[in-house]
Amino acid sequence: MPQEVSKPKYRELSDGLYWTQECLPLGTLSELERFDLERWVEPDEDVHGCQNAYLFSDERNLLFDTLTQPNSEHVVELIDELLDGDDLDYLAISHPEANHAGNTFTILEAYPDATLLVPGEAAGYGSGHSAEHELYHIAAETPADVDQVPNEIRYVEPGDSIDLGTHTVEFEAPLFPDHSFTLWMSERTTNTLFTVDWMGFLHQNSNCVKTASELDRDVAVEQVFRFHALAFPWMRFGDTDAIERAVDDVRERFDPDVIAPAHGMVMTEDLDAYLDRFLEAVTALSREGERSNMESKLEYILRPPEVDQ
């Protein structure tokens, strides 16, 4: 099976809000081996990871994240198609990782009047080092001198909002970040919470760019488990009580109608059930970090028989 990032697919989630998705074939369950928490994929069925970006087409247009560099040739034509010839006004970057921001300069070059919105404060406690530096040098072809990029670059922080016309987006402090310069985003009219790396899950090749409630089968805890094991390695050592309190915070403070992650399917109904599934997954994941499990794992990993120490 060819291991290639797919060309982006898209759909309109609600009036003027587009979901674009590229898929990463990961092979079949037998290739992925060893997990059996719950059956959710047939033996000959391909499993996909995915990368999402979201586009608001409104009086002012905004793209949240950029898809990845293998689609650099397609991303601008996709934006052009969805905006029907309109200009892009804002490119917002969730965090300066290449899979989220790798086409930044390709897009800025195509839309020189677009304003680049990037996290100006760390997701953690401090301002940290090098936020600007990391973003500016993330593109495949970094401009020789970023000062010469004609686009306005604006640093945004939790609480900053952008009025797009019908929609208003607001940047949010993430409750579950991986990278220290990560911002979530919310949108008021649709009550959508864009959770970036959090709340992603793997999907079957028959289910690309479908909302969670449209999938041809239920989302299994294992799908959620596998994704978070990959994207949030620290959750092995997670304090499940603290994580549950943060999920309660999401329910109470944001109470979203839509959860739109960067690496999973958009959830539009029964969000509490998906949040519960995440908690089940993280509980299972945290068991991996317990002493007995880590002992056998580290022994296996670090004392390979072919090395005589």
Among positions 179, 203, 226, 277, the unique one binding other proteins when judged by CB under 8 A: 179
Cβ atoms of 28 and 43 within 8 Å: the answer is: yes
Residue type, 87: D
Q: In angstroms, what is the minimal distance from the CB of 126 to other proteins?
A: 4
Go through the chain and tell me how many residues it has.
309
**Shortest CB 173 distance to other proteins, Å:** 9
Contacts of 149 (CB under 8 A, 6+ apart): 105, 108, 143
Identified binder of other proteins from the candidate list 8, 10, 16, 24, rule CB under 8 A:
24
> Of 53-61, 93-101, 200-208, 254-262, which part binds other proteins (CB under 8 A)?
93-101
The full 3-state SS of 1-36, as one line of letters, equals CCCCCCCCEEEEEECCEEEEEEEEEEEEHHHHCCCC
Amino acid at 177: P
Task: Give the CA dihedral 95, 120, 157, 256, nearest 10 degrees.
Answer: 0
Among 41, 82, 169, 243, binds other proteins (CB under 8 A): 243
**Parallel/antiparallel/unpaired status of strands 90-92 and 115-119:** parallel
Q: Which stretch binds other proteins (CB under 8 A): 38-46, 187-195, 249-257, 292-300?
A: 292-300
Under the binding rule (CB under 8 A), the answer on residue 289 touching other proteins is yes
From 12-20, 40-48, 58-66, 67-75, span contacting other proteins (CB under 8 A): 67-75
What residue has token string 């608001």? 56
Asked if 124 is part of the footprint of other proteins (rule: CB under 8 A), the reply reads: yes
80 binds other proteins (CB under 8 A): no
Among 99, 43, 41, 94, which residue's Cα sits nearest to residue 75? 99
Residue from 23, 26, 156, 202 touching other proteins (CB under 8 A): that is 26
Residue type, 53: A
Three-state DSSP state, 273: helix
Residues at the contact surface with other proteins, assessed by CB under 8 A:
3, 5, 24, 26, 51, 68-70, 96-99, 102, 122-130, 133-134, 137-140, 142, 174, 176-180, 182, 230-239, 242-243, 246, 286, 289-291, 294-295, 298-304, 306-307, 309
